[in-house]
Amino acid sequence: MWDQVKQALDQSTTKFLTGLAHQLPGMVALIVALLISFVLAWVLAIVVRRLLASIRFDERLNRWGFASIQEWSPMNSPTRLVSRTTACVVILAGFLIGIAAFDAESTSLLVRSVFAYVPNIVGAMLVLLVGSIIASFLARSVLIGAVNLNLQYARLLSLGVKWLVIVLAVAMALEHLKIAPGIVDLAFGILFGGIVLTLVLAVALNSKELVTKSLERDVKEPSGENIEEPFRHV
């Protein structure tokens, strides 16, 4: 009986140690991959930061109309945001490589599904980027146009247009990521409709005064007497 227990214990110890020994190269590979990716990420982050600093990326971004990125960047610097994102991507890639080496059979499925999802993430990021460029361009166009038309609610209009495009871009990006498509559709409909309704109400309420002024002017001006404005610009 004691021999049988000893034999079972030996077998389980051998099995465990064999299994451990079997996993050890994978673990070492994971640690090495992580270490290398950390070093690579650190070097790459420095290179990216210096490169972006040399082309004054923060200033340029500000000029291109992406001042809002600064607000939610680490240390208010979009350069740091880009360099840290680059580092994170490299570390993630190193981790996935390490995981694949750790246990090819059980983890390959995870790695494969993660890599299969990468195009969706890239696509969504592109949609967001293009969306934010278009949003900021249109917002600026509307703001300048509305100010020149002497519309008191110019800023509101511009913000409305900006958020319309951003909501559209976010909805498209989430659709691309296949995250809760039903909820996204519903939320998008509600948000988009809400913004349009807000804009319509704001414009209508602000226009009340404009219409009143216009009517008053019509009443004050004697009908038939067309007073020509003498101002000519070009």
Partner 1 sequence: MEVDSIPQQTQERAAQIESADLVVGVLADLGQDGLMNLCEGLRALPGLPRIVILRRDSASNTAAANAQSAQQEDTSLSLLPWSAVGPDPLGAPLQSISIACQSLFAATGKLGARACCFVASEMESASPQWVCQMLGPLLESDFDFVAPYYAPRMFQGFLNSGIVYPLTRCLYGKRINNPFGPDVGVSRKLAQKILGMNRNANAGTNQSHPLASLAPVAVCENLQICQVHVGARLYPPTDWTNMSSLVAQVMGPIFLEMERSAACWQRTRGSVPVPARGERQPQSQETGTVDLNRMVETFRLGVRDLQEIWSLVLPPATLLELRKLSRLAPEQVKMPDELWARIVYDFALAHRLRTINRDHLLRSMTPLYLAWVVSYARELETAGATSVEQRIERLSLAYEAAKPYLIARWRWPDRFNP
Interface with partner 1 (CB under 8 A): 62-65, 67, 137, 140-141, 143-145, 147-152, 154-155, 158, 227-234
* Smallest gap from residue 157 Cβ to partner 1 (A): 10
* Smallest gap from residue 182 Cβ to partner 1 (A): 38
Give, in order, the Cα–Cα distances in Å from 136 to each of 56, 58, 63, 152, 172.
20, 16, 11, 20, 17
- Closer CB to partner 1, 76 or 108, in the complex: 76
- Closer CB to partner 1, 22 or 56, in the complex: 56
Amino acid identity, residue 219?
Answer: V
* Smallest gap from residue 64 Cβ to partner 1 (A): 8
- Closer CB to partner 1, 60 or 112, in the complex: 60
- Closer CB to partner 1, 208 or 220, in the complex: 220
* Smallest gap from residue 71 Cβ to partner 1 (A): 13
Output the DSSP codes for 179-213: SSHHHHHHHHHHHHHHHHHHHHHHHHHHHHHHHHH
* Smallest gap from residue 208 Cβ to partner 1 (A): 17
Give, in order, the Cα–Cα distances in Å from 138 to each of 65, 143, 212.
11, 8, 30
- Look up residue 177 and give its DSSP letter: H
- Look up residue 227 and give its DSSP letter: P
* Smallest gap from residue 194 Cβ to partner 1 (A): 23
Residue 125 to residue 71: CA distance in whole angstroms: 19
- Closer CB to partner 1, 70 or 120, in the complex: 70
Residue 122 to residue 66: CA distance in whole angstroms: 20
Nearest to 210 by CA among 146, 152, 148, 147: 152
- Closer CB to partner 1, 113 or 208, in the complex: 208
Are 85 and 74 in contact by the 8 Å Cβ rule? The answer is: no
